[in-house]
């Protein structure tokens, strides 16, 4: 009973996804492949949220800035035509200075708004989007010269709204694709014919290991100490503000890389839109995995990514088939997906209440 | 019981295989929901009714298409996972379409893509989709201003926001509008409105228009023409224009069905009945004493993109169109729809004229009532298509990107 109570959010989601899958009429192969793609492209972003949670800063909606850093790096590779896996990793390297700068600024802001990091991060995302649009729409081609005119609007100022990333699409996803065949074991045979992007998943696994190892170092312990109680940490001689800024910088850099992994799979970048949803979706996925604003694990991040995207795959078609109308399917999907995130938050609150009693 | 289950399974299997073997080829249609604009969705429904539920899969892209591109991709991929599906029509081609087409082509190269109203970069999209239909936005840059001038405009207000101004075609149109305004001596005013996909949502954008348009009329006087680049802003804009007796030259997506009926409080029962709605708007405009102040195109253009697109897709699926990018057929199809309903023009002529005329022209003799008797008279009968112009976006690099200009109508004139 306690186990159910503890994991009520993921359980509700598993049930919903199963029912949704039944009604969606999708084939298992399609569903599994789509889910695998989405897991590979989103899990890195979700994991990037863990460090600030453990450092007591709640869910970092500021990862939108990390995504912007990643996109700036992507633009540089497109302008200079850096192709293939080399181009992708060049983008990862170039994203670091941007991400450190953005993370540092975010961290300073968060230190001024202790206890309200989440709402601050959310609004900061909107604000940063304004500046981002200013840079990409007005400064590019005017203050920042771009040699390749095909990337600019006809007036010569500002990026066009979609940039093709063919130059390094699938740089890591298609580096080595593993496809199981001929597994006969009853339960495992469902894994046949699923395209597994080995390198991407390896990178995600490495990241997971790195996060685990990080929390064994002195810095990691400082994160935890600050997360548990700022005042005690302060008395113990930890420079709380500094540790918090470092936590945000880590998160922002990881988000920048996460966004690059996302983009290399999608294959083009919506200059003015690709980063907008990053914060909310990653946060939603983490919450669905069973994490709370003060506690999150890697397992929860991965489980949450799987469940959140499984629901997004099945719910439009399930809604359409259940309601018999294409657009009701869309409303149904929005209602279910966001409604359940609301429920997830309510259930967390309820769990906390039960714990207190 | 077990045996019964086995038999049932066998029957199900036979049925499944049977339908698979004889299944008719299908097409997929992806439209928006009715939240932003109703026309595309209704046209999608119309296609399902026309070709049958077993031949057409109709799905929608998310309302928040800017944020949820992954859903757009998944929806298109889910359609393509049906082996009978041969062509997909996407209207509007919201951001995410390019990625979705790429993803489908990785697994299935045989599917033809027809995209209407292209949001993403035109050259890139021309390389991805097979046929693209778009309203001729650059041409509208001058035609809307000329029309507004003819309607008596002294000032031209252009409502838009940064996201739309990052669409190459819309940005070009704005620049041409500004230039044409200068040439014709009209004051061009760019007003920044909130983005309906932003924090405030559609409601915020609509409220802004309701508040701002009267302010502008007060400032520049009623001889001000209003234009907005966004669908959801049209209805509040028309309402404000009617209230302030200003000028409304065209919607973002010109059509007699787009926002006009709702804003004017007209009831539309049949979305396909063009002459009816043109007539109804005409009467309402006269009633409101707005003659010569409101205009649009006679044909509902985005609906026609879907109608022509679906006809093309069906032709390709049935094997009647061999080439995926058969530009000539695509042109003919949009021509046949975009002209609106064919108009029958009847002109009385003399017998001598009829005899002198070429035998191919249609002349008939009709009996018309005259003073209690019937008088026989010769008339010339012509079937006129609406005036539609089609040109490629780029005659060299993007021939499959077709840009369409429809026929204009100014109500009450």
The tokens describing A257, both together, are 């890389």
Burial of B401 (0-12, 13-18, 19+ CB in 10 A): buried
Burial label for A227, CB within 10 Å (0-12, 13-18, 19+), is buried
Calculate mean pLDDT across residues A119-134: 92
pLDDT digits (tens, 9 = 90+) for B32-42: 988 766 889 98
Label residue B155 left, alpha or beta by phi (over 0 means left) and psi (-120 to 50 means alpha).
beta
Say if the Cβ atoms of A334 and B75 lie within 8 Å: no
- What's the domain count of chain A? 1
Confidence of residue B20 (pLDDT cuts 50, 70, 90): very low
| Span of A154-163, B45-54, B269-278, B402-411 with lowest mean pLDDT | B269-278
Dump pLDDT digits (tens) for A2-59. Answer: 788 778 788 888 998 899 899 988 888 889 999 999 999 999 999 999 999 999 998 8
Cβ separation of B77 and A30 shorter than 8 Å? yes
Distance, in Å, from the CA atom of B293 to the CA atom of B222, rounded to the nearest integer, reads 10
- Residue A201 structural domain: 45-293
What pLDDT sits at residue B338?
Answer: 64
Residue in B45, B46, B75, B198 to test binding to A, most A beta-carbons within 10 Å: B75
**What does the alpha-carbon distance between residue A230 and residue A223 come to, in Å, rounded to a whole number?**
10
Task: Please tell me what DSSP assigns to residue B198.
Answer: S
Helices A298-323 and A28-47 cross at an angle (nearest 10°) of 140
Domain with CATH 3.40.50.11390 in chain B: 137-297
Q: Give ranges for CATH 3.40.50.11400 in chain B.
A: 21-135+303-338
B168 contact residues in A (CB cutoff 8 A) = 153-154, 160-161
Write down the pLDDT at residue B18. Answer: 46
Rg of chain A over Cα atoms, rounded to whole angstroms, equals 21
Q: What is the pLDDT of residues A78-111, one digit of tens each?
A: 999 999 999 999 999 999 999 999 999 999 999 9
pLDDT band at A344 (very low <50, low <70, confident <90, very high): confident
The owner of tokens 């009617």 is B242
Write the DSSP symbol of residue B296.
E
Interface test with B, best of A161, A285, A309, A317 (most B CBs within 10 A): A161
Q: Report CB contact under 8 Å: A162, B63.
A: no
Domain for residue A99, yes or no?
A: yes
**Does domain B21-135+303-338 bear CATH number 3.40.50.1820?**
no
Fold (topology level) of B137-297: Rossmann fold (3.40.50)
Q: Is the pLDDT of residue B226 over 80?
A: yes
Contacts of A330 in chain B (CB under 8 A): 33, 60-63
Beta-sheet pairing, A177-179 with A195-197: antiparallel
A356 found inside a domain: no
CB nearest to B121's CB, from A160, A274, A320? A160
Closest partner residue to A162 (CB to CB) among B31, B73, B120 is B120
Q: Best residue in B34, B58, B71 to probe A by mutation, most A CBs within 10 Å?
A: B71
Phi, then psi, of A228 in degrees rounded to 5: -75, -45
Query: Cα B28 from chain centroid?
Result: 18
Partner residue facing B95 (CB), from A34, A162, A326: A162
Comparing CA positions, the residue from A139, A80, A69, A133 lying closest to residue A104 is: A69
* A and B: number of Cβ contacts within 8 A: 121
Among the listed residues A42, A71, A169, the one whose alpha carbon sits nearest the alpha carbon of residue B99: A169
- Measured CA to CA, the distance from residue B365 to residue B379 in angstroms comes to 6
Per residue in A220-238, pLDDT (tens digit) is 999 999 999 999 999 999 9
- Confidence bin at B107 (pLDDT 50/70/90): confident
Instruction: Assign 3-class secondary structure to B83-99.
Output: CCEEEEEEEEECCCHHH
A354 within domain boundaries: no
Count each helix (H run) and each strand (E run) in chain B, helices first.
15, 15
Element (H, E) at B16: helix B2-22
Cβ within 8 Å of residue B376, ≥6 positions away: B365, B366, B367, B368
pLDDT tens digits along A180-198: 787 777 777 777 778 899 9
Q: Give the pLDDT band (50/70/90) at residue A131.
A: very high
pLDDT band at B175 (very low <50, low <70, confident <90, very high): very high
How far apart are the C-alpha atoms of B394 and A127, rounded to whole Å?
38
Lowest mean pLDDT among B7-11, B57-61, B101-105: B7-11
B141 by Cβ neighbours in 10 Å (0-12 / 13-18 / 19+) ranks as buried
Cα dist from A59 to A128, A165, A343, whole Å: 18, 30, 17
CA dist A151 and A157 (Å) reads 10
Q: Which two tokens stand for residue A178?
A: 């593993």
CB B25 within 8 A of CB B56: no
Residue A202 has pLDDT above 90, yes or no: yes
Average pLDDT, integer, range B289-313: 92
Q: For position A189, what pLDDT does the model report? A: 72
pLDDT higher than threshold 80 for residue B209? yes
The pLDDT assigned to B212 comes to 95
**Bridge partners of B118?**
B93
């Amino acid at each position: 009973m306690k186990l159910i109570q503890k994991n009520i959010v993921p359980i509700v989601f598993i049930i919903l996804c199963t029912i949704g899958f039944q009604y969606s009429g999708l084939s298992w192969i399609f569903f599994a492949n789509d889910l695998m793609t989405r897991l590979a492209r989103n899990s890195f972003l979700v994991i990037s949220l863990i460090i600030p949670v453990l450092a007591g800063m709640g869910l970092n909606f500021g990862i939108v800035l990390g995504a912007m850093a990643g996109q700036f790096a992507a633009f540089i590779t497109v302008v200079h035509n850096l192709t293939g896996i080399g181009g992708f990793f060049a983008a990862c390297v170039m994203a670091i200075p941007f991400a450190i700068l953005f993370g540092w600024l975010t961290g300073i802001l968060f230190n001024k708004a202790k206890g309200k990091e989440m709402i601050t991060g959310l609004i900061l995302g909107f604000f940063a989007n304004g500046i981002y649009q200013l840079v990409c729409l007005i400064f590019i081609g005017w203050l920042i010269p771009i040699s390749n005119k095909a990337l600019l609007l006809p007036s010569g100022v500002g990026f066009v709204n979609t940039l093709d990333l063919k130059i390094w699409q699938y740089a890591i996803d298609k580096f080595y694709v593993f496809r199981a065949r001929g597994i006969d074991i009853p339960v495992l045979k469902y894994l046949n014919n699923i395209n597994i992007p080995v390198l991407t998943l390896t990178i995600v696994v490495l990241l997971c290991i790195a996060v685990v190892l990080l929390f064994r170092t002195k810095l990691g312990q400082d994160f935890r100490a600050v997360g548990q109680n700022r005042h005690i940490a302060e008395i113990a001689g930890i420079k709380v503000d500094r540790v918090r800024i470092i936590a945000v910088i880590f998160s922002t850099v990881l988000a920048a890389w996460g966004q690059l992994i996302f983009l290399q799979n999608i294959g083009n970048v919506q200059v003015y839109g690709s980063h907008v949803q990053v914060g909310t979706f990653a946060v939603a996925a983490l919450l669905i995995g069973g994490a709370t604003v003060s506690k999150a694990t890697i397992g929860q991040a991965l489980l949450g990514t799987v469940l959140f995207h499984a629901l997004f795959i099945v719910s439009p078609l399930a809604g359409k088939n259940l309601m018999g109308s294409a657009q009701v399917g869309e409303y149904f999907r929005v209602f279910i997906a966001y409604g359940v995130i609301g429920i997830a938050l309510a259930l967390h609150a309820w769990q906390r209440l039960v714990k207190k009693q | 019981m077990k045996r019964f289950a086995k038999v049932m399974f066998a029957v199900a299997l036979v049925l499944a295989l049977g339908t698979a073997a004889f299944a008719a080829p299908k097409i997929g249609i992806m439209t928006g929901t009715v939240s932003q604009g109703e026309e595309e969705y209704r046209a999608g429904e119309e296609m399902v009714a026309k070709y049958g539920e077993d031949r057409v899969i109709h799905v929608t892209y998310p309302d928040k298409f800017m944020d949820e591109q992954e859903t757009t991709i998944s929806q298109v991929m889910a359609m393509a996972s049906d082996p009978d599906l041969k062509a997909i029509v996407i209207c509007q081609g919201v951001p995410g379409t390019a990625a979705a087409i790429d993803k489908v082509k990785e697994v299935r190269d045989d599917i033809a893509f027809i995209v209407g109203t292209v949001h993403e970069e035109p050259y890139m999209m021309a390389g991805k989709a097979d046929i693209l239909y778009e309203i001729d936005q650059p041409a509208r840059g001058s035609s809307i201003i000329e029309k507004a001038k003819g309607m008596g405009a002294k000032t031209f207000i252009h409502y838009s926001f940064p996201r739309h101004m990052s669409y190459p075609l819309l940005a070009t149109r704005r620049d041409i509008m500004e230039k044409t305004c200068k040439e014709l001596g009209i004051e061009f005013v760019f007003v920044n409105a909130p983005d309906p996909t932003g924090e405030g949502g559609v409601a915020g954008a609509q409220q802004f228009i309701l508040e701002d348009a009267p302010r502008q009329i007060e400032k520049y006087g009623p001889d001000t023409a209003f234009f907005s680049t966004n669908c959801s802003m049209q209805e509040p804009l028309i309402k404000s224009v009617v209230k302030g007796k200003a000028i409304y030259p065209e919607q973002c997506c010109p059509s007699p069905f787009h926002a006009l009926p709702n804003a004017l409080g007209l009831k539309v029962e049949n979305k396909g009945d063009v002459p009816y709605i043109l007539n109804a708007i005409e009467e309402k405009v006269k009633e409101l004493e707005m003659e010569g102040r409101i205009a649009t195109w006679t044909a509902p253009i985005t609906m026609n993109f879907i109608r022509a697109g679906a006809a093309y897709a069906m032709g390709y699926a049935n094997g009647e169109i061999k080439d995926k990018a058969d530009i000539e057929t695509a042109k003919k199809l949009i021509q046949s729809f975009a002209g609106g309903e064919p108009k029958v023009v009847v002109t009385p002529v003399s017998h001598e004229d009829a005899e002198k005329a070429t035998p191919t022209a249609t002349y008939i003799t009709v009996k018309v009532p005259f003073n209690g008797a019937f008088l026989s008279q010769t008339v010339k009968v012509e079937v006129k298509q609406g005036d539609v112009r089609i040109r490629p976006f780029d005659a060299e690099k993007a021939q499959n990107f077709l840009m369409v200009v429809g026929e204009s109508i100014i109500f009450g004139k």
